[in-house]
Amino acid sequence: MAKDDEKDYMKENKKTMQHPPQEKEGLEEPNVKEYNKVQGGIVAFVIVVIIIIIALISTDMFGLLN
């Protein structure tokens, strides 16, 4: 019985249903494809800087190991 009621409900509402608009309304998020490349470059840069700082501290470049 419940399935028959559901089918009847769907048939009645199919005519009155609103279809989605053809054009999107409101703001859309910009399509940014280069973000992964930029993020990878930032990660590589941070790793290189950390390695340089560790190398300078380990060779006592700053005079911290007296």
Is 50 part of a structural domain of the chain? yes
Task: Spell out the SS3 assignment of 7-45.
Answer: HHHHHHHHHHCCCCCCCCCCCCCCCCCCHHHHHHHHHHH
Is 47 within the bounds of a domain?
A: yes
Q: What is the pTM of this model?
A: 0.45
- The answer as to whether 54 is a domain residue is yes
12 in any annotated domain: no
Tally of domains within the chain: 1
Any domain includes 5: no
The model's pLDDT over 11-20, given as tens digits with 9 standing for 90+, comes to 777 767 777 7
Q: Is residue 51 part of a domain?
A: yes
Distance CA 52, CA 46 (A): 10
62's CB contacts (< 8 A; 6+ apart) are: 56
For residues 1 and 9, what is the distance between their CA atoms, to the nearest angstrom?
A: 12
Token pair listed for 55: 């190398």
Note the pLDDT tens digit of each residue in 27-61.
777 776 767 777 889 999 999 999 999 998 888 88
The domain in which residue 48 lies consists of: 34-59
- The verdict on residue 66 lying in a domain is no
